[in-house]
Amino acid sequence: MSAAPLRVVFAGTPEFSVPCLEACRASGAEVVAVYTQPDRPAGRGRKLTPSPVKQAAVAAGIPVEQPESLKSQEARDALAAYRADLMVVVAYGLILPRKVLALPRLGCWNVHASLLPRWRGAAPIQRAILAGDAESGVDLMQMEAGLDTGPVLLERRTLINRDDTGGSLHDRLSALGADALAEGLRRVIAGETLIATPQPEAGVVYAHKLDKAEAKLDFHRPAIELERQVRAFDPWPVAEGDIAGESLRIWAAQAVEREHHATPGSVLSTGRDGIEIACGEGSLRVTSLQRAGGKRIGAADYLNARPDLRAAR
Amino acid at 137: G
**How would residue 269 be classed by pLDDT, with cut points 50, 70 and 90?**
very high
pTM attached to this predicted model:
0.95
**93 Rama class: left (phi>0) / alpha (psi -120 to 50) / beta:** left
27 is in an annotated binding site: no
117 is in an annotated binding site: yes
The whole-angstrom separation of Cα 211 and Cα 26 is: 36
For residue 182, pLDDT over 50 is answered with: yes
Q: How far apart are the first and last CA of the chain?
A: 79
**How would residue 2 be classed by pLDDT, with cut points 50, 70 and 90?**
low
Give 114-146 pLDDT, tens digit per residue: 999 999 999 999 999 999 999 999 999 999 999
Structural element, H or E, at residue 283: strand 283-290
Nearest to 35 by CA among 73, 82, 1: 82
Number of neighbouring beta carbons within 10 Å of residue 257: 9
Contact 141, 148 (CB under 8 A): yes
Nearest to 199 by CA among 128, 150, 144, 135: 150
State how beta strands 246-256 and 86-90 pair: unpaired
Coil/strand/helix, residue 48? strand
Averaged confidence pLDDT in the chain: 95
**How would residue 206 be classed by pLDDT, with cut points 50, 70 and 90?**
very high
Q: Is the dihedral of CA 140, 146, 149, 152 positive or negative?
A: negative
For residue 160, pLDDT over 80 is answered with: yes
140 is in an annotated binding site: no
For residue 252, pLDDT over 80 is answered with: yes
Structural element, H or E, at residue 9: strand 7-12
The whole-angstrom separation of Cα 58 and Cα 66 is: 13
What pLDDT was estimated at residue 109?
Answer: 98
Nearest to 123 by CA among 133, 113, 132, 115: 113
Specify which residues 281 forms β-bridges with: 222
| Beta-carbon contacts of residue 71 (< 8 Å; ≥ 6 apart) | 97
The whole-angstrom separation of Cα 180 and Cα 20 is: 9
What pLDDT was estimated at residue 298?
Answer: 96
In the chain, the percentage of residues whose pLDDT exceeds 90 is 94
pLDDT, mean of residues 279-291:
98
Coil/strand/helix, residue 206? strand
What pLDDT was estimated at residue 1?
Answer: 47
pLDDT, mean of residues 90-102:
95
For residue 313, pLDDT over 60 is answered with: no
Nearest to 137 by CA among 196, 201, 198, 180: 180
Question: Going from the N-terminus, what domains does the chain have, and what CATH number goes with each?
Answer: 7-207 (3.40.50.170), 213-310 (3.10.25.10)
For residue 56, pLDDT over 70 is answered with: yes
pLDDT, mean of residues 153-164:
98
114 is in an annotated binding site: yes
φ and ψ at 60, to 5 degrees? -90, 0
